[in-house]
Amino acid sequence: MHGIKRNLENKIQLLLKQFPVVAIVGARQVGKTTLAKRTTSNWQYFDLENPRDYDRISYDPTFFLQQNKKHIVFDEVQEYPALLRCLRGTIDSQREQKGRFILTGSSSLDLLGNLSETLAGRIAIVEVGTLKANEYYQQPLSPLYEIFSTKLNKEKLNLCKKPPLSITEIQHIWLQGGYPEPVLQNNQSFYNNWMENYRSTYVNRDIAKLFPRLNKLAFRNFLHILNKLSGTIINRSNLARALEISEGSVRDYLKIVENTFIWRNLPSFERNVIKAIIKMSRGFMRDSGLLHNFLRIDSQEALYNDPIRGHSFEAFITEELIKGVQATTVTNWQAHYYRTRGGAEIDLLLDGPFGLLPIEIKCATTIPPKQLTALTQFVIEHNLPFGMLINQSEQITWLNQHVIQVGAGWI
């Protein structure tokens, strides 16, 4: 795993030149520690889940930081939140120094809030997901993401005729997901055992540790139903009735899965003054392999025969796109979905300093022109340069003067 180059490496190195602290956050086993070590190969490393390291630091953190003022990696920092206050004092004593500490963290509802509040102005936070397709195949990040470096325009869509990855390669990583250890082993038996143990550990260790009074059976049932709803608009009231628990419990459970980085809530795009908008969030499992493992989908044939196929592909491409933009230097951008009460829907909108890009995602290789109506109308109504259709075609072509088709291999 140490040999796998991640898209975020250059970004983290840039941020270390700008901030005293960089935090790398994400779900367990996505490669945060490996990424931190690859980015800072000669730094000291301390694992706060290791009792020896924890005791050494927590006994007198102020003294420890007096002796270790820079080039330190603190792994799983959520295990010792008090360290953040001590870091603030250490940083402020030499505020002009950059690139002093890297923190990693996962599985904590309060982690991002603690980092942002305690180290405000001193820290850059980078979220890392499971392997993006180009990372798995060790290819450069697609040139598609260059369009986000300036304002969107048609002239910048000068992509090569051959996609960086084939549809067969995309389909493989879509089925398997991107957790580094099991997918890089290339052993189906190991993959199945690893994913099963990961799911069990998530509930029995991570969640149980965070919420010792949590009803494990109710939470497991929640996860089972939630996976079947991946890619849909989540109605908390309906979900509560199905599980026979309170709507408050559903809200808390959704917060748990989102803040432990296995679930993404995609907010509704509400900046449309022309039409009535559905404002509930749409949610999905971030890693397609984990979703398929939950649903016992273990082959391409099973995936294509399962009703979840369309939603799974939409979520996979959405997450691939989000990972791709996260790897760039673009800041202050958001991802949304769009649906009107009249039924018009767009799967993904990327909104940032580059402008607004509406994206429709289809699992098929071709779609009838009628299915482009909502996307085309949205482009016209908002006076946008273009909209994008992403599907499993191996071609890149303009479908009309407003919509370009981009095969998934470019993503």
**Does the pLDDT of residue 3 top 80, yes or no?**
no
Residue 281: which pLDDT band, with cuts at 50, 70 and 90? confident
pLDDT of 240 above 60: yes
List the Cα angle 334/256/30 in 5-degree steps.
70
Residues 274 and 363 in one domain: yes
At 73, the amino acid letter reads V
What token pair was written down for 144? 């598609």
Q: Do 265 and 162 have their domain in common?
A: yes
Q: 142: buried, middle or exposed (CB in 10 Å: 19+, 13-18, 0-12)? A: buried
> Binning pLDDT at 50, 70 and 90, where does residue 275 land?
low
Same domain? 267 vs 394 = yes
Based on the structure, what is the number of domains in the chain?
2
What CATH number did the domain enclosing 85 receive? 3.40.50.300
Q: Once rounded to an integer, what is the mean pLDDT over residues 144-156? A: 90
How far from 363 is each of 235, 309, 311, 411, CA to CA, in Å? 25, 8, 9, 14
Average pLDDT for 363-383: 91
In the structure encoding, which two tokens stand for residue 151, read together?
A: 């304002």
pLDDT in tens, 162-183: 889 999 999 999 999 999 999 9
The DSSP secondary-structure symbol of 31 reads S
pLDDT averaged over every residue in the chain? 91
Measured torsion, CA atoms of residues 201, 202, 207, 208, in degrees rounded to the nearest 10: -20
Domain that holds residue 142: 133-410
CA distances from 297 to 136, 158, 307 (A): 21, 37, 11
- Quote the crossing angle between the two packed helices 51-59 and 82-93, to the nearest 10°: 60
Contact partners, residue 295, CB within 8 Å, separation at least 6: 227, 228, 306, 308
User: What's residue 305's pLDDT?
Assistant: 94
Query: How far lies 33's CA from each of 20, 47, 193, in Å?
Result: 19, 9, 22
Domain end point (choices 127, 151, 175): 127
Q: Which of 261, 240, 241, 242 is nearest to 251 (CA)?
A: 240
Tokens of 166: 């084939």
Domain stops at, among 102, 127, 152 = 127
Residue 1 pLDDT > 70: no
User: Are residues 263 and 199 part of one domain?
Assistant: yes
Do residues 111 and 177 both lie within one domain? no
The encoded tokens of residue 203 equal: 């509930």
Per-residue pLDDT band for 37 (boundaries 50, 70, 90) equals very high
Q: Is residue 14 in some structural domain?
A: yes
